[in-house]
Amino acid sequence: MEFTKKDILDMESLSVDEIALILNTAKRMKEVSERPVKKVPTLRGKTVVLFFYEPSTRTRISFDIAAKRLSADSLSISGSSSSMVKGETLTDTVRNLEAMSPDVIVLRHSSAGAPHMLARLVKPSIINAGDGMHAHPTQSLLDLMTVMENKGSINGLRIAIIGDISHSRVARSNIVGFTKMGAKVVLAGPLTMIPKGIEALGASVADNADDAVCGADVIMMLRIQKERQKSNLFPTEREYSKVYGLTKKRVKRAGSDVLIMHPGPVNRGVEIAPEVADGPYSIILDQVTNGVAIRMAILYLITSVSDSRRHAEC
């Protein structure tokens, strides 16, 4: 199968075959990171711009390492260091970047749909590294890869996602991604954080965290942001932790070979107990490792599309 997408915007626009291709490619890419010399010349001469309008450490570094391991030239700009602080619009900033002929622009932005808007306007491939509450496709892909490595297949698994579903792009992309690959996704969280109509994405909502965890093959905990307390989405961290936090006791309700995941950054002692985050079921750091492989795979696949397109235009 040949990859034909110009952009990676969300999990909805990727087919099952495309997801499988990305996961398979990532498996090969992972091997590069395990070599003593962690670099291949595949993307020599390609330019990857990491445009992070919203702060990010893990995702930005992961993309940066992925680009460098493939020998692409990568550079980082942030919202505060770009011309946007001088009042330039996102479109103008990206058009200016475009004028310098990058091959890929990796965008993290606080507005849902910002990468979609740019994908329509500019020639370089756009990779969505998180847009508002909407989507975080590379996170979902690395989560799929990590579960696949441990379980062999996604099909038929029960995935519990617990926490602030409303504000989570990771939750949205994973509901779509895991459902697409045949898993059953069950959600739990304070009802203030379960958005209306989430079932339409294919997930079901459990009555409480215990029910969601019951029989789960995978438990994915979401970061609870302290600011949400101010908008009265939950009264205190203490109560949140008690009712929705993942404790050792709660883990026992799940399958005996359950996997514990978290997209990070972790609030130890709030959504997840330290002994669970560090415990035998945790694959939180495997997620980070696989993040590099997934991003290498995507950069590789997407630039090969640009090449064939360029050939077509000659």
**207-246 footprint of other proteins as x/- string (CB under 8 A):** ------------------------x---------------
Compute the least distance from the CB of residue 134 to other proteins, in Å: 3
Q: How far apart (Å, rounded) are the C-alpha atoms in residues 36 and 13?
A: 36
What does the H/E/C string look like for 244-294? HCECHHHHCCCCCCCEEECCCCCCECCCECHHHHCCCCECHHHHHHHHHHH
Compute the least distance from the CB of residue 205 to other proteins, in Å: 12
Residue 200 engages other proteins in binding (rule: CB under 8 A):
yes
B/e letters for 49-85, b = 16+ CB within 10 Å, e = fewer, are bbbbbbebeebbebbbbbbbbbebebeebbbeebebe
Q: How far apart (Å, rounded) are the C-alpha atoms in residues 66 and 284?
A: 19
Compute the least distance from the CB of residue 208 to other proteins, in Å: 21
Residue 141 engages other proteins in binding (rule: CB under 8 A):
no
Residue 201 engages other proteins in binding (rule: CB under 8 A):
yes
Residue 111 engages other proteins in binding (rule: CB under 8 A):
yes
Residue 172 engages other proteins in binding (rule: CB under 8 A):
yes
Nearer to other proteins among residue 32 and residue 176 (C-beta):
176
Residue 186 engages other proteins in binding (rule: CB under 8 A):
no
Residue 129 engages other proteins in binding (rule: CB under 8 A):
no
Q: How far apart (Å, rounded) are the C-alpha atoms in residues 137 and 143?
A: 10
Q: How far apart (Å, rounded) are the C-alpha atoms in residues 62 and 52?
A: 13
**By rule CB under 8 A, what count of residues binds other proteins?**
26
Residue 79 engages other proteins in binding (rule: CB under 8 A):
no
Nearer to other proteins among residue 51 and residue 281 (C-beta):
51
Nearer to other proteins among residue 202 and residue 255 (C-beta):
202
- Strands (E) in the chain, as ranges, are 47-52, 73-78, 104-109, 125-131, 158-162, 184-188, 204-205, 218-221, 259-261
Compute the least distance from the CB of residue 13 to other proteins, in Å: 11
Question: Rg of the Cα trace of the chain?
Answer: 19
Residue selected from 32, 72, 90, 254 as contacting other proteins according to rule CB under 8 A: 90
At 204, phi and psi to the nearest 5? -115, 160
Residue 11 engages other proteins in binding (rule: CB under 8 A):
no
Residue selected from 132, 237, 243, 304 as contacting other proteins according to rule CB under 8 A: 132
- Residue at token pair 């997408």: 5
Residue 117 engages other proteins in binding (rule: CB under 8 A):
yes
Nearer to other proteins among residue 53 and residue 244 (C-beta):
53
Those residues with Cβ within 8 angstroms of residue 2's Cβ, 6 or more apart along the chain or in another chain: none
Residue 96 engages other proteins in binding (rule: CB under 8 A):
no
Q: Which residues bind to other proteins, rule: CB under 8 A?
A: 12, 89-91, 109, 111-114, 116-117, 131-135, 169, 172, 195-201, 231
